Structure 1
């Protein structure tokens, strides 16, 4: 027992000595300071947006009116556009961000020049594939040929090529379809199912970003009604909010809306600055929609109105970048990788012109220098995409035999002018051509013709010294839809009611049809509905309410397009030539000069 106690004392002493040595060592060694917590770096996503491309693959002399950096408050006309330059700017924007996505806000196709329409828009889709478009919303023009054709264009495969057709599917090679997703939360079939997926999700590093699409709910009134039969176009904001809630339930907290509806800024005498985030005078459907779209949405890309603006409302950008490949928008979103939410205070955005090889060097340098970083370097360094240029050149060469054929001469330019107030030289030209094609008794005995302004897709320019040659491509770009002419009968009272319906109750402005030379009247904008059309005459004779009049319109209007539902009631219908053929024949017969005098006298 005594021995055991001695061993215990020895062991205890040894342990105590060892512990003392350890503690002594610890007292002399430096204590490492705590390491600082490294801040979490946000995930940057660059959203490259565009709208209303309308198959404008070639530059074709396009311009933009942009602020002049050297003259505050003044603007300058700048040459821009074309798919190769557009793709080059996209490439340069991609190079400046670790993550990017290219997004369309509708009307990528439809209402397009021959280089797109001739190939059933397969040429445009193939260029968009090469450009790397990932997602978009349909516009109303995506429905021009109906929902079945839209789905073929997206899915691929060759469409029918009946003998004598103006267009040709799979003209150069088999067509594989779109490599991007179209989304539309507000387009439903009769059974409530969506025609297209409401949304699309992109994985961006550790976070998910949701893209929700919508098209203007008024689409059925601005496309051929038969093309959207059986579809419902519901309220855009309500559909977007339902899709946003579904995405949030899946844990997607960064949300982008791409919508084919928009607005405008500025006034008739002074266009707004497309990069002034205050957006003075912002008006149009987008104002109400933006108020009703859930605040969970971080960015709203818009289209349809072919305007340029970059508004910041309640901390989120609302953007549109003109049309026809002339510009695009870039928005940098900075996303917390832990929460998946956007730091809206860090968001930056810009509308950017698409400079091309024809842009004046001094203009390009000055405009680029006036941009804040990083957009200044983007504009300075962007170069056309050679692969896209080659791709467009192949389609252009295939279309050239038709495009460059001279079909007539004109003594001046026929311009569309300001929409809304009276008629234009371009509208008068087309209406007169349609009246001439249907005036003979055998062709319908028309006494007048009416043309919708939205169907006039471009001016008819006189380039050089008159008389100027007009090519098939020029005329096709002006009238690309291939509608047939329809002659129908109305009483004088019904005709006046039709003209009064150009501004129905509740609509803020008028949507005036362009008349042929035989029809004249005064439009008194301040008068009440039903009394705005005054001094109405046909061939110089006052309208008689009980008389019968033969009226020519295109088949789009004849089905009630653009909201002119009274045209669906026209009697004794007789179909006629294609509108394009009527215009070609009219141009062939003589050298035409623009008619300066309006046929509608506008009175405020």
Structure 2
């Protein structure tokens, strides 16, 4: 037996061992005269759904369409209707991660089983993992994949969980102790009679944006190198049409058509340009943006890379031809299009009923009023990056950690604020009323509140970490007790000054009790100075702190954006 034949058998064994099927036989090597030379294939992709079974609200529930107009978008029943209009016998539905995690209560209350079941109903066949797939750890992700009831909370009202109808892929997630794949790296699907290989990749920054317990025992390797190894596996299995599903992406210039390419080159572009020429196209996620872009692979061939926004607001179609003789994608045939999931269509009746069933199941908890607000409290940022909702959450966290933790200030990561609080009623609760479900949608992570002691010098260094590599700026949202001046035009390391706590200037040697969620305290989002903190104290869950604050300070008004002063 030749070494190449042995390698192909070994690869087939690897794929079979991970529970994936390998379609028998390549595409016909000698097309007959009555068959066309190529075969059409369509992929329909989604990314960053985050359990949004119901239509998302606020700024998360709208998107700019091809005409440059912001329109309401998203919702599982509308998604199903649009999807049915886009799929055909040549199609497969694929995804690029973060389908679950950071979800509204309707899904999160049942560990996202409702969302995974929905995606099965919609025909999803394969997805990369996203960083949020690891929110509850690898063991829980495997339970979601394979079935079984939750070990602590037991079975949901639907009964024993049967597992996902689609496969999660992760070619760059390895077990630290063995270096073996934690999940299948690749999958091979037969679409319209031809074999297409899929590679799953997740951002290598996952350890810095997921709690330590979620990624314990795992290594997240660099994406391009890992993707290229996976492409070799598929080539050894005789597969030449290869698609990378990558949970990483770029930022864009806001307000552009979802079919444009206004990206600021970042990690997504790096991956799209760096992957092996064996990879024909790249489907992306993570940055919650919509774009259709084209670049060149290392061999100088055109390669399309796409992303479809978030929360089910966009579906991406990618059409291409596969050469019957070679089994490879004809690169010049690749055409991608982002379709806005508008709400001007008839919602799918089956999915409407499915969502309503889960809404009814969680309604007792979700519809409970917890407080009131006087106006919209949103994530809209002022010139300094401060937001009213971020400030409100920080105030809640400070109040919840003063007793026991002796907190003096609180800081909230902006990425942990997932939705706006709107004054207009979303159901029958009345204007200004905030329900538990709405509060949970704002803060869905169930992070633990913690307090550590930092010196004044360390607090200054922590605030300087708001400016990060790659031009990323993450402005920590401060409680009312903390004020300072921000000077973005100054060199990094010299952009924060005039730090005060309750109006008193902070000294370098001063000991300060700082409250934050356990994700930040663990160094998440690049705020590694938190790990220098001492005298750790743990308190309530962040959602409980938020609920208690809204109840005690009802009606709550949007805080003024005056805690961070922007230097002129």
Aligned residue for 1:347, secondary structure, equals: strand
Give 3-state SS (helix, strand or coil) of 2:318's partner: strand
Correspondent of 2:560 among 579, 596, 604 = 596
Deviates more, 1:313-322 or 1:279-288: 279-288
Q: What's the CA shift string for 1:464-499, capped at 9, x where partnerless?
A: 699611111110000111112112211111211221
Matched, 1:336 2:323: yes
Q: Does 1:150 align with 2:141?
A: yes
Q: Does 1:177 align with 2:163?
A: yes
Cα RMSD for the two superposed structures: 2.0
Residue 585 (structure 1) shift: 1.0
The answer as to 2:258 corresponding to 1:274 is yes
1:43 is the counterpart of 2:39: yes
**Whole-Å separation in 1 of the counterparts to 2:166 and 2:391:** 40
- Measured in 2, the distance between the counterparts of 1:559 and 1:68 equals 41
Q: TM-score of the superposition, structure 2-length normalised?
A: 0.89
Deviations 1:357-404 (CA, angstroms, capped at 9, x unpaired): xx3xxxxxxxxxxxxxxxxxxxxxx64332222211111110111111
| 1:312 corresponds to which of 294, 297, 302 | 294
Q: In the TM superposition, what whole-angstrom CA distance separates every residue of 1:105-144 from its partner, at most 9, and x where no partner exists? A: 0000000100110011011111111111100001000111
Q: Which consecutive unaligned segments of at least 5 residues does structure 2 have?
A: 1-31, 297-301
Is 1:503 matched up with 2:489? Answer: no
Deviation per residue, 1:295-316 (Å, 9 max, x gap): 2212110000000101122332
Shift of 1:46: 0.9
1:117 corresponds to which of 95, 102, 108? 108
- CA shift at 1:563, angstroms? 2.1
Structure 1 residue 240 corresponds to structure 2 residue 204: no
SS in 2 for 1:482: coil
Farther-moved stretch of structure 1 (479-488 vs 201-210): 201-210
Q: Secondary structure at the match of 2:219?
A: strand
**Cα drift, residue 68 of structure 1:** 6.4
Distance 2:466 2:435 in 1: 33
Q: Does 1:59 align with 2:55?
A: yes
Shift of 1:248: 1.3
Alignment of 1:407-446 (within 5 A): 407-418=370-381, 421-440=384-403, 443-446=404-407
Distance 2:399 2:544 in 1: 12
Change (3 A) 1:454 1:161: same
Secondary structure of the corresponding residue to residue 48 of structure 1: strand
Aligned position for 1:550: 513
Deviations 1:401-451 (A, max 9, x none): 1111111110011111249942110100000001111223xx222110011
1:476 to 435, 440, 457: 440
CA distance in 1, matches of 2:401, 2:33: 80
Preserved contact between residue 447 and residue 518 of structure 2 (Cα < 8 Å)? yes
Structure 1 residue 598 displacement after superposition? 3.1
CA distance in 1, matches of 2:383, 2:90: 42
Contact 1:80 1:326 in 2 (8 A): yes
What's 2:69 paired with?
76
Post-superposition Cα deviations, 1:304-357, rounded to whole Å, max 9, x if no partner, equal 00001011223322111110011110011211122111222222221001122x
- Over 3 Å counting, the alpha-carbon distance change for 1:428 and 1:207 in structure 2 is same
Distance 1:552 1:601, change over 3 A: same
Distance in 2 of aligned mates of 1:282 and 1:532: 24
Q: Select 1:137's aligned residue among 125, 128, 132.
A: 128
Q: Which residue of the partner structure matches residue 201 of structure 2?
A: 214
In the TM superposition, residue 515 of structure 1 has moved relative to its aligned partner by: 0.6
Residue 460 in structure 1 maps to residue 421 in structure 2 = yes
Query: What's the offset of the Cα at 1:169?
Result: 4.2
SS at match of 1:339: coil
**Which residue, out of 216, 220, 235, partners 1:229?**
216
Deviation per residue, 1:203-250 (Å, 9 max, x gap): 234421100010000000000012212211111011111111221122
1:574-600: CA deviations, max 9, x gaps?
A: 211111111111111221110132312
> 1:584 matched to which residue of 2?
547
Q: How far apart, in 1, do the equivalents of 2:155 and 2:105 lie?
A: 13
Structure 2 residue matching 1:271: 3-state secondary structure? coil
Contact 1:264 1:309 in 2 (8 A): no
Within 2, Cα distance between the matches of 1:540 and 1:155?
Answer: 55
Aligned pairs (5 A) from 1:375-390: 383-390=346-353
- Is contact 1:161-1:169 (8 Å) kept? no
Kindly indicate whether residue 105 of structure 2 is the aligned counterpart of residue 105 of structure 1.
no
**Distance in 2, Cα, partners of 1:412 & 1:430:** 16
Change (3 A) 1:420 1:118: farther
Q: What is the aligned partner in structure 2 of residue 569 from structure 1? A: 532
Following TM superposition, by how much is the alpha carbon of 1:511 offset from its aligned partner in structure 2, in angstroms? 1.6
CA distance in 2, matches of 1:189, 1:420: 43
Separation in 2 of the partners of 1:196 and 1:307? 27
In structure 2, how many angstroms separate the alpha carbons of the residues matched to 1:502 and 1:518?
19
Trace 1:340-379 onto structure 2 (pairs within 5 A): 340-356=327-343, 359=344
What TM-score, normalized to structure 1?
A: 0.83
* Cα displacement (A) at 1:41: 4.3
Q: Pairwise mapping of residues 523-542 of structure 1 onto structure 2 (< 5 A)?
A: 523-542=486-505
| Conservation of the 8 A alpha-carbon contact between 1:131 and 1:388 | no
Runs of 4+ that moved beyond 4 A: 36-39, 418-421, 464-467
